[in-house]
Chains A and B, each alone.
Chain A
Amino acid sequence: MANTDIEQRKQELLNQGYTEVYTKTKVLTDAVLHYCPGCGHGTTHRLVAEVIDEMGIQDKTVGVSPVGCSVMAYNYFDVDFQEAAHGRAPALATAIKRLNPDCFVFTYQGDGDLAAIGTAETIHACNRGENITMIFVNNGIYGMTGGQMAPTTLVGMKSATTPYGRNVALNGYPLRITELLATLPGTYYVTRQSVQTPAAVRKAKAAIRKAFENQKLQKGVSFVEIVSNCNSGWKMTPVAANKWMEENMFPNYPIGDIKVDGKIAEGIDANRLVLSHPLTVVNK
C-alpha cells in the first residue's frame, strides 16, 4: 500500500470515530518490511528505532547491517547505515566510532554472522572495548539462506544441513557466545532478552535503551542478544514457534542480564560463564 493510501485509510478510520493508539516510529522509514510474519526482527527493529527517537540521536546514529535476514535493515531505519560483508560488522563499527566519536554506532547481526563467520571480529571488537552497541538476534538457524545449521542451533535440532538433528560428534556444540563475551574485560553490558510477549518487549526495550545510553560513558561494548524465533526456518506457525522457543531455546539461552555496569550481574552463577551450564537436547 502506498503511503498516500495508508494516510487516506487512516483518515477514514479516524472519521469513523476510531482513535489512534499506535503509530509508526519516526526513525523507521515507510519501506515495507521483508521479514516473515511472526519473526522477531520487526519488533526488534522497532525497539531500536524507538530508542533512537526517544534519545533524540537520529542525526548522529550510524548503523551497520550484516549479511543474513537483516541484510537490508538499512532500508527500514531512517538513519545513516552501512551494509557490511558477512561477519565484519564489528570491524566497520570499530572504525566508524573511532573516526566519529560523537556518533552513536550500532551493529545489528544474526547468529551466523556474529557467532560463526564473524567470531574473530566480534570477540576482538568486544575485547578492545569499542564504545558501540551490538544487537544480536539469535534464532538458531540461517534464515535467509534457507534454514541451515547456525552456530547456535541446539543439539538435536533439525535444519537443512542437520537433517537428522544437530549431532555433537558431527557438528560440535551450540556456541553461547554471549556468555563468552561477558567474560571479556571490554564488555560493559551484556544481556539476553526476547520479544515474544508484551512483558518481554518492555524488558528488551529497556535493555536496548541502556545499551545505547552506555555509549555516552565510553566504557566498552554494550551487547544485547535477542533470542528470537524463525517460524519459517523452524517450519512452525508463529505461535507454535514462540512456544517452542520458550520451551527449548530459553533453557539453553537463559533470558536476563549477564553483565551490568562492567560487573557480572546479580544471581549469575560464574560457572555458567565458563561453559558448565548444562545443554539440553531437543527433538524437532
Chain B
Amino acid sequence: MAKELKLMKGNEAIARAMIASGTDGYFGYPITPQSEVMETLMAEKPWESTGMVVLQAESEMASINMVYGGAATGKKVATSSSSPGISLMQEGLTYLAGAEIPCLIVNVMRGGPGLGTIQPSQSDYFQSVKGGGHGDYQLYTLAPASVQEMYDFVFDAWDIAFKYRNPVLILSDGAIGQCMEKLYTRDYIPRWTEEERRANAPWGTWGKPANRNHNIITSLELDSARQEVFNHKLQAKYREMEKNEVRYEALNCEDADYIFVAYGSSSRIAMKAMQMAREKGIKVGLFRLITLFPFPTKQLQEVAKNVKGILCVEMSAGQMIEDVKLATNCSIKTEHFGRFGGIIPTPTEVLEALETKIIK
C-alpha cells in the first residue's frame, strides 16, 4: 500500500499501522472500546499477506505473556486493550520492562475505577507513567491526539522499542479510538527477514547456533548487588530517553498569559477553548504532551516562564497535574480541570474553568 488518503477509525488505524509497519505478531483479548483493533486484524488476515501472526488469547494476562514470549524471540509483537484489561497486564508489563523486551502495548482508555464505564477517560495516567506494576521501571509512553497519530505512533513505537530495548505504550482513549478522521497511510515496511531479526535482536531466543552462548530472557537476579547494578542500568536508560526522546507541541505559547497543558482528546478540546479565548482577547496557549514518559519537563519550564497561570485539562480527577507542578516547581498558579467517569468536557467548560479557576 502506498501513501493514500483514507477515512478511518482510530482503532482501525492502529491495526492497519501494525500491518504496514512490519509487525510480526498481535495477541489480544476483546474489550470495549478497542475491540476494532483485533477485529480489523482478523478481517484483514495479514498472515496471508505479510505473514503477521494474529491470535485471540483467553485473557489479557495470556495476551501480554504471549507478547512476552513472542517479543523475546526478537520479533515485533504487540497487544492492545482498554483500562481494565491493561490493569490485568501489569504483571506482564513489569516482566517485559525487567527483561528489557521491546514491544508495543496500546491502551484505549475508558472510565474507572473497577469495571467503570466504556466511555472515554484519561484516568490511567498514573498507571502508565508511575509504574503500574511493581518495581522501578518506565514505559515509553506516547499520547496520540488524532487518528493520524494513532497510525504514525505505531511506526515510531518500533523505532524507540528496539533502540532502547524497552516496551512502548500508546496511551489513547475511547474518543480517539472510536472517532473517524482522515488519515494518510504510509508505504509498507516489510517484516524483518531472518537475517534482520538476528542482527536487530542478537539477544533474542531464536535458537542457539553453535557459535554463541545460549540467550536467556529473564528478570530474575537473586544477588541483590547485581540486581542493584541492573536497576542503575535501567535508570540510565530512562535518563537517556529523557534526554533524547521527549516530544511535545507548543501552540501560541510565545505571547501567552495563560496556557493549557493537555494530551490526547483533552488537547483537542483545549485547542478549541484556546481559539475561543483568543477571540475574546485572552492570550492563551496550548502545551500538548506527546510523550507522557519522558515528560517534557524542561520544555514546559521554558514555556511557563512568562505565564500567569496554567490550567491542566485531563479527563480524570487530576493526575497529570502532579508532573506539571513538579516541572514548574509549583512556582506558577496551576489548577486542574477535568470531567471523568466517561464524560467529555466541552470547550466552553474548559474556557470557563480557565476564567474562574485561573484568571478569576
Interface residues of chain A, those whose CB is within 8 Å of chain B, are 29, 58-62, 64, 71-72, 74-75, 77-85, 88, 91-96, 98-100, 103, 120-121, 124
Contacts and interface: CB of A to CB of B under 8 A. Distances in A.
Contacts of A96: 69-70, 72-73, 205
Contacts, number: 128
Q: Which of A93, A95, A124 has the most CB of B within 10 A?
A: A95
B77 interface: yes
B188 interface: no
Contacts of A120: 58-59, 61-62
B214 A78 contact: yes
A242 B240 CA distance: 55
Contact of B208 (A58, A88, A95, A121): A58
A58 B217 CA distance: 17
Contacts of A103: 206-207
A80 B207 contact: yes
Given A82-B72, A99-B24, A100-B206, 10 more contacts: A58-B208, A60-B207, A74-B214, A83-B216, A83-B218, A84-B68, A84-B69, A85-B95, A94-B62, A95-B66
Nearest to A107: B69
B91 A62 contact: no
B219 interface: yes
Interface string B49-73: 0000101011101110111111111
Given A85-B91, A88-B62, A120-B62, A94 B55 contact: yes
A95 B214 contact: no
A91 B55 contact: no
A124 B68 contact: no
A80 B215 CA distance: 5
Interface in B211-259: 214-220
B125 interface: no
B112 interface: no
Contacts of A79: 207-208, 214
B311 to A, nearest CB: 41
B47 to A, nearest CB: 10
A62 B77 contact: no
Nearest to B55: A98
Nearest to B92: A85
Contact of A82 (B25, B55, B205): B205
Given A81-B214, A81-B216, A92 B66 contact: yes
A99 B27 CA distance: 11
